[in-house]
DNA sequence: ATTCGTAACGGAAACGTTTGCGTGTTGAGA
DNA sequence: TCTCAACACGCAAACGTTTCCGTTACGAAT
């Protein structure tokens, strides 16, 4: 077991000082040609690599970014991670992952763990419980400690930071308009409780689309489901809920669902009730994941472009990190300047038309 | 922007020495009651948290484990990560993720980046390209540097380390036997090229099951597909391949596929060719993911229990890390002892019976 | 011969901790 | 009054780097 070789060991072995070794390896021309060659050869032979931790301590930056998400077994989130990882790696950063599991306390704990020097900045999506409690102190404290945050998808106005979102509102409007334009008269909405920002926006989009087409929204056409039903374990309950919903609204000829699972379940129920898709009922979902492609019939969805969101988020964060490098000067003057230029990047959604619509 | 407070600052502010502050905060009884209270109160007020990087440098351990996987947008891998994260967090570790994207060089690069002090140990699944090249020097070097590795799912005999696998062979045998016992006479196998270990084992399981039932395997019933077809972009090509396969083997009444995608695609093709499932053709897949639950009909699968694999892997790694703590003594004597007790944990597969089988 | 510039290198601080050891003060026992 | 614990605390090293600031030696210029 040959431990990694350090500068000190090289120095001792070659009978020079540590600083000479360090300089020789960084090709400083302060060191004589001969010694430099000797040191570099020795270092290469013993496969010297500088210790990251020591560098982090010295430079006061870790070159790693922390990702904090509610759940990882989730197509959307994992595509975002992939996006982040790609640009992070390309720009010389590592990513470290924390899962909140939709829990407020886990989010706080994780955040504090990583904020103690482990990472340079955060990219995160807020947990449901946090959104419910509307307690954002941990984000604000982290930011005030000089650790930048970039939020994606589930964001919140109360926190000043860079954000990356999709236009949930516009995406929904377009989806519902598509249903309208293909003849739907009674479009149902299957959504979640309002507290998760994205659910709310998608609901608003649905309403706006109806309004713009001079159609009256009916409460009976809106099904609000508890989030826990989205868990795989409660599939049957979800199915029952939707079946009841369908049965008490026989005229439904279009469904807009705020996520993939609701949409495919709606299709399943519709078929069970002997509706034909898309002839009798058309269905559109939000979030383009694996299910949409393989459902029968394949599902028309609003695509969120998770990977692109991740890439954008990573760029935003790293840009800010490297910008901060220069202004280490502790100039209090331009704090306002800096505060004010937080960006919110909006990723365009797309409507991927498949077989569940005409 | 209030930077994180350090021991030094507290010491200065309270006019004591750094060591006194450190001891007071760790409740050392070497420090007088009064000073201790004062320091603790001050620290709490300014929300002092020890700097992780400094601790890592001092303790020569980072309390974070590196995960290296081929792909993250993949149900199986993300469940494994979830498993790892859960026990890692519970035992006080963080996880940092690297993606090889099935590329040998990215695997090496990522490994070297993290091995330079960033992590205490690895949990990984080998990339396809690495398996093809059969070049495992990076694993061996990492291990010889004192950084333990735990491999899961895609493992390899050439490297001495802890491993966590599912019994691909036995799982496949059971699946195929299930098909046989329900009357299938001509069972097709849809698999990948042999170089990925798991594909090979599953193929062997298929053959063994036939053999034990005194059925002759026919080459015409085995479809070996290129891995690239598993990508979502090439769905149609995949579909065509399978359709041709079905057309040239009209007697097929059972299908065993080595992954979920091949299985659902086979079902899609079968239905298109007007076969009824499970009456005319039964189908079983490997890997229980989202698709299996929501396919029509729902797919009977061999479940891999990814989360459990992750949990086991994390336990194995952390156990070894904390064991190594004690034997820092540089005793050369028992190196053999230690080398020899590498464990290979086998996770039992289960057959989840759904509607694609009788 | 003295000064000076410069090439080539070493010392030490700093990043933020922990910890072994040393040291000063106090009180009690002889 | 002297000695000696015990107590309460400070110093400094160490983890592995980088970098600022010396210091030495030597040849050249004055």
Binned average pLDDT, 10 residues per bin, chain B of 358 residues = 90 95 94 94 96 97 97 96 97 97 96 96 96 96 96 95 96 96 95 78 94 93 82 81 91 94 94 94 93 91 97 97 67 46 95 95
Which residues in chain B touch residue A79, judged by CB atoms under 8 angstroms apart? 73
Cβ atoms of residues A2 and A30 within 8 Å: no
- Inter-chain touch B75–A72, beta carbons under 8 Å: no
Instruction: Please choose, from the candidates A193, A341, A188, A330, the residue with its C-alpha nearest in 3D space to the C-alpha of residue A270.
Output: A188
Q: Is residue B186 domain-shared with residue B280, that is, in the same domain? A: yes
Residue A353 lies in a domain: no
Cβ-based contacts of A78 with chain B (< 8 Å): 72-74, 78
User: Residue A339 pLDDT > 70, yes or no?
Assistant: no
pLDDT number for residue A197: 65
Lowest mean pLDDT among A323-327, A337-341, B152-156, B173-177: A337-341
Average pLDDT estimate for A185-203:
86
- Say yes or no: B213 and B131 in one domain: no
Interchain pair B81, A62: CB under 8 A: no
Residue A334, phi then psi, degrees to nearest 5: -90, 20
Residues of B in contact with A301 (CB under 8 A): none
Residues of B in contact with A50 (CB under 8 A): 116
Closest CB to B146 among A1, A291, A296: A1
Q: In Å, what is the separation between the CA of B333 and the C1' of C20?
A: 29
Question: In this predicted structure, which of A130-134, A285-289, A340-344 has the lowest mean pLDDT?
Answer: A340-344
Pair B79, B129 in one domain: yes
CA-CA distance, B358 to B276, in Å (whole number)? 12
Find the CB nearest B52 among A78, A81, A116: A116
Inside any domain, residue B117: yes
C-alpha distances in Å from residue B340, one per residue of B160, B315, B337: 9, 18, 5
Beta-sheet strand order (sheet of B222-225): B222-225, B187-192, B254-257, B282-286, B300-303, B350-352
- Domain containing A18 — which CATH number? 1.10.260
Contact A1 B118 (CB under 8 A): no
Domain co-membership, A265 together with A249: yes
Report which residue is nearest nucleotide D19 when distances run from CA to C1': A19
pLDDT at A337 over 90: no
Among B79, B99, B144, whose Cβ lies nearest the Cβ of A1? B144
Residue A357 lies in a domain: no
What CATH number does the domain containing A221 carry?
A: 3.40.50.2300
- Kindly report, residue by residue over A83-137, the tens digit of the pLDDT: 999 999 999 999 999 999 999 999 999 999 999 999 999 999 999 999 999 999 9
Residue B56 inside a domain? The answer is: no
Query: What's the CA–C1' distance between A10 and D28, in Å?
Result: 36
Answer yes or no: do A297 and A201 share one domain: yes
> CB A4 to CB B116 under 8 A?
yes
Q: Which nucleotide is nearest to A32 (CA to C1')?
A: C8
Domain check: are B129 and B240 in the same one?
no
- Positive or negative CA dihedral for A130, A324, A96, B127? positive
Give the CA-to-C1' distance from B17 to D10 in angstroms. Answer: 6
Distance between CA B250 and CA B228 in Å, rounded?
26
- What is the least distance, in Å, from the CA of A177 to any CA of chain B? 28
Query: SS3 of B344, please?
Result: strand
End-to-end CA distance of chain A: 66
Distance from CA of A291 to the nearest CA of B (A): 6
Select from A51, A112, A113 the Cβ nearest to the Cβ of B117: A51
**A72 and B53: CB-CB below 8 Å?**
no
Nearest to A73 among B2, B50, B79 (CB): B79
pLDDT above 80: residue A1: no
Note whether B148 and B180 are same-domain residues: no
Q: Distance from residue B197 (CA) to nucleotide D16 (C1'), in Å?
A: 41
What pLDDT, on the 0 to 100 scale, is given for residue B241? 92
For residue A338, pLDDT beyond 50:
no
User: Which percentage of chain A shows pLDDT scores above 70?
Assistant: 93
B119 within a domain of the structure (yes/no): yes
Which chain A residue shows the shortest CA-CA distance from B70?
A82
The candidate with the shortest Cα–Cα distance to A314, out of A141, A64, A126, is A64
Based on the structure, what is the number of domains in chain B? 3
Residues 6+ apart with CB under 8 A from B45: none
The whole-number average pLDDT for the span A166-193 is 95
pLDDT of the residue at B333: 41
Q: Are A128 and A69 in contact (CB under 8 A)?
A: no
Task: Summarize the confidence of residues A165-174 as an average pLDDT.
Answer: 95
Strand (E) or helix (H) holding B105? helix B104-115
Residues A298 and A312 in one domain: no
Residues of B in contact with A81 (CB under 8 A): 72, 97
Q: What is the pLDDT of residue A101?
A: 95
**Burial (Cβ within 10 Å: 0-12, 13-18, ≥19) of residue B358:** middle
Burial class (CB in 10 A: 0-12, 13-18, 19+), A44: exposed
pLDDT at A340: 54
At A6-20, the pLDDT tens digits run: 999 999 999 999 999
> Are B238 and B274 in the same domain?
yes
Same domain, B197 and B290: yes
Which one is predicted more confidently, A193 or B25?
B25
Buried b (16+ CB within 10 A) or exposed e, A52-85: bbbbbbeeebbbbbbbbbbbbbbbbbbbbbbbbb
Q: Provide the pLDDT for residue A327.
A: 56
Residue A143 lies in a domain: yes
Q: How far is B339 from chain A (nearest CA, A)?
A: 11
Q: Which nucleotides of C are covered by protein (CB under 7 A)?
A: 7-21
| Cβ-proximal residues to A126 (8 Å cutoff; 6+ apart), any chain | A70, A107, A151, A154, A155, A156
The alpha carbon of residue A1 is apart from the nearest alpha carbon of chain B, in Å, by 5
Contact A78 B74 (CB under 8 A): yes
Q: How far is A52 from chain B (nearest CA, A)?
A: 5
Spatial CB neighbours of B200, under 8 Å, sequence gap ≥ 6:
B194
Range of the domain at A12: 7-50
A118 contact residues in B (CB cutoff 8 A): 52-53, 64, 94
Give the pTM.
0.93
pLDDT tens sequence across A45-83? 999 999 999 999 999 999 999 999 999 999 999 999 999
Q: Which of B307, B262, B305, B301 is nearest to B285 (CA)?
A: B301
β-strand partners of A99? A69
Task: Write out chain A residues lying below 8 Å of B113, CB-based.
Answer: 52, 94
Is the same domain home to B119 and B129? Answer: yes
More confident residue, A335 or B225: B225
Q: What is the mean pLDDT of residues A183-200?
A: 85
User: Alpha-carbon torsion A134, A135, A139, A141, what sign?
Assistant: positive
Q: How far apart are the CA of A214 and the nearest CA of chain B, in angstroms?
A: 36
Phi and psi of B268, rounded to 5°?
A: -60, -45
How many CB contacts within 8 angstroms connect chain A with chain B?
Answer: 144
| Alpha carbon distance A164, A347 (integer Å) | 7
Q: Which residues touch strand D (CB under 7 A)?
A: A 4, 6-8, 18-19, 22-23, 25-26, 48-51, 54-55, 57-58; B 15-20, 29-36, 54, 57-58, 60
Contact state of B291 with A290 under an 8 Å Cβ cutoff: yes
Residues A213 and A191 in one domain: yes
**Which of A87, A106, A116 is the best mutation test for B, with the most CBs of B within 10 A?**
A116
Residue B269 lies in a domain: yes
Tell me whether residue A351 is in a domain. no
């Amino acid at each position: 077991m040959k431990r990694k070789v350090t500068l000190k060991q090289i120095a001792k072995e070659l009978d020079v000082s540590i600083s000479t070794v360090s300089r020789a390896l960084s090709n400083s021309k302060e060191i004589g040609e001969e010694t430099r060659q000797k040191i570099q050869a020795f270092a290469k032979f013993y496969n010297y690599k500088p210790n990251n931790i020591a560098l982090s301590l010295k430079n006061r930056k870790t070159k790693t970014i922390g990702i904090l998400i509610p759940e990882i077994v989730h197509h959307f989130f994992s595509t975002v991670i992939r996006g982040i990882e790609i640009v992070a790696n390309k720009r010389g950063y590592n990513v470290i992952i924390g899962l909140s599991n939709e829990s407020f306390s886990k989010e706080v704990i994780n955040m504090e763990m990583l904020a103690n020097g482990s990472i340079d900045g955060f990219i995160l999506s807020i947990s449901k419980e946090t959104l419910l409690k509307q307690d954002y102190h941990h984000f604000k404290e982290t930011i005030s400690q000089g650790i930048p945050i970039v939020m994606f998808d589930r964001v919140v106005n109360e926190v000043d930071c860079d954000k990356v979102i999709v236009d949930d509102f516009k995406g929904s409007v377009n989806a519902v308009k598509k249903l309208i334009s293909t003849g739907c008269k009674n479009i149902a909405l299957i959504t979640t409780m309002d507290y998760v920002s994205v659910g709310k926006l998608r609901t608003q989009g649905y309403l706006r689309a109806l309004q713009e087409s001079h159609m009256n929204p009916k409460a009976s056409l809106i099904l609000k489901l508890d989030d826990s039903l989205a868990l795989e374990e409660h599939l049957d309950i979800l199915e029952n809920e939707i079946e009841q919903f369908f049965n008490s609204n026989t005229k439904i000829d279009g469904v807009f669902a705020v996520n993939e699972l609701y949409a495919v379940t709606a299709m399943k129920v519709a078929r069970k009730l002997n509706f034909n898709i898309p002839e009798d009922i058309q269905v559109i979902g939000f979030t383009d994941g694996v299910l949409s492609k393989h459902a029968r019939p394949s599902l028309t969805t609003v695509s969120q472009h998770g990977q692109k969101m991740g890439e954008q988020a990573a760029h935003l964060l790293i840009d800010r990190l490297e910008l901060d490098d220069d202004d280490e000067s502790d100039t209090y003057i331009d704090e306002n300047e800096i505060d004010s230029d937080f960006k919110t990047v909006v990723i365009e959604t797309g409507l991927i038309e498949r077989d569940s619509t005409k």
